[in-house]
Amino acid sequence: MAALKLMIPGPVDIPEEVRDAMAIRTMPHYGNDWVRLYGETQEMAKKVFGTKNDLYIMPGPGTMALEAALGSALEPGDTVLIPLNGFFGERLITMAEGLGLKVISLPLPLTEPISAAEVAALLQEHPEVRALAIVHHETSTGVLNPLEGVLAAARARGVLTVVDAISSMGGVPLLVDEWGVDLCVTVANKALETPPGVALLSISAQAWAAIENRKAPRGWYLDLKTWRWYMENWGSWHPSPVTMPTSNINALHTSLMALLESGLETRFAEYRAAAAATRAGLRALEFSMFAPDSCASPLVTAFCMRPGVDATALQQALVQDAGVMISGGLTDLHGKILRVGHIGLARQRDYVVSFLLGVEDYLRGQGLAIAPGQSLVSVAHLK
C-alpha cells in the first residue's frame, strides 16, 4: 500500500532530510558530541520560542511536559484559572485537577476565541489565583486563541502563565519573552516538522522561583528541579537526567536548522497560504467552515458537512481512494466536522490538490454535479 499523505493536526509528514537525520547510528546521550548537538538544538529552539529562558528537551509527549510544568510550579490546593473553548482545554482542567489543583474554569463557545476581558474580570474577582493555563491553538475546533491580551491580564496580577503551544509553536507567531510566558510547552512532531518523541519546555525566572519554593513532595522525572540539577551539575557531559532519544533530537536539530534558514515568517506564510487554498476549495464545494475566519488557525481547517454528506464516509473515502488522511471531530463534534492539517508537508501544493480532488471525487460518487477541478480555485500560488 502506498504511503498516505498525512493531513492531520499531527504527527506530520516530514522532509526527506529530517527523515535521513533519524537514520544515524545509535548515539549516546552523554559525551562531547552529544553535549554539542543538544546545546545547539536548545539554542535554535530558543530562537523559535523567542526566549532567553532555560529550555529543556524532554522525552515524551506534550501532555507530559504540561504536567511537569503545572506540577513543578504549583502546590496541591493552589488555584489555577483555565479558560477553554475545546477538547484540549478540557484536558488541561483534568490534568490540573489530577495534580490536586483547584480549578476556576472559563468555558466559552467552541467557535469563539478566549476573551482577555473575561479573563481579566475573573482574575480580579479571584485574587487567590496563582496561575493561568491556556491552550494557544485549540486543534479540536481550529480556533487560534489570541494570547497577548490574555497574558497581559495575567501579568498585571502577578499570575504565573502556562501556555500549551503544542500545536502552535513554529507555525504562528508566539514570542515567549515579549508576551510574558512563564512556562511554554510544545512538541517536535507538529509545526517543528520532526517525528514524535520529544517535548520542549521553556521556564522563566518567575517560574523557577515558584518551582524552588514548592514544598509538597513531587516525583522525580516530572520534577523540573531534577532537570535543572543535571544541567547545572552534569551539564558538561550528561545534561539530562534520563536516556534521551538521540536520533529524534538529531532530526529536530536538522528541522530547526531548515526552519531558521528559511525564516519563521516564510514558514508562517506557507501555512497561511495552504489554509487559504484549502478553505477556498472547500467553500467552492459548498462546505462551510466551523471556526470564523477572524479566529481560524492557519494550521488546521475545521469544516462542517454539507447536507447529505456523511463525515465518516468522506474521511474513509479520502484514505481509500485519494491516499489522504484527515481527522474527524472529537467528542460532541464527531460526525459533524472534519479537520485538515496544513503543517509538515501538508503545506505543499500536491497535498492540498490531492485532498481537494479527493473530496470532489467523493461528492461525484454521491451523485452531486461537481465539475473536475472546481475546488482548485486558489492552489496555483502554492509550492
Residue 154 Cα distances to 39, 147, 180, 339, angstroms: 32, 11, 9, 31
DSSP code for 305: P
Residue in 138, 262, 264 with CA at minimum distance from that of residue 146:
138
Whether the CB-CB separation of 206 and 154 falls below 8 Å is answered with no
Residue 37 pLDDT: 97
**105 membership: H or E segment, kind and range:** strand 102-107
Residue 340 pLDDT: 98
Residue 2 pLDDT: 67
- Residues in the chain with pLDDT < 50? 1
Residue 383 pLDDT: 87
Residues near 42 by beta carbon (within 8 Å), at least 6 away in sequence: 55, 56, 57
Residue 11 pLDDT: 96
Residue 213 Cα distances to 75, 79, 216, 247, angstroms: 9, 16, 9, 35
Coil, helix or strand at residue 56: strand
Cell 546545546: give the residue: 39
Domains of the chain: 16-260 (3.40.640.10), 263-365 (3.90.1150.10)
Return d(Cα 360, Cα 230) in angstroms, integer: 55
Torsion of CA 91, 97, 103, 107, to 10 degrees: 20
Torsion of CA 150, 151, 153, 158, to 10 degrees: 150
Helices (H), the chain: 16-21, 32-49, 62-73, 87-98, 116-125, 147-156, 176-179, 205-213, 224-234, 246-262, 264-284, 311-317, 349-365
For residue 97 the three cell numbers come to 485537577
Residue 141 Cα distances to 133, 183, 265, 326, 331, angstroms: 18, 24, 24, 14, 11
Whether the CB-CB separation of 154 and 132 falls below 8 Å is answered with yes
Q: Which residues pair with 349 in a beta bridge?
A: none
For residue 38 the three cell numbers come to 543538544
Question: What number of other Cβ atoms are within 10 A of residue 181's Cβ?
Answer: 30
Residue 3 pLDDT: 87
Residues 249-290: pLDDT tens digits?
999 999 999 999 999 999 999 999 999 999 999 999 999 999
Whether the CB-CB separation of 70 and 133 falls below 8 Å is answered with yes
Torsion of CA 269, 200, 206, 134, to 10 degrees: 60
C-alpha 198: how far from its chain's center? 13
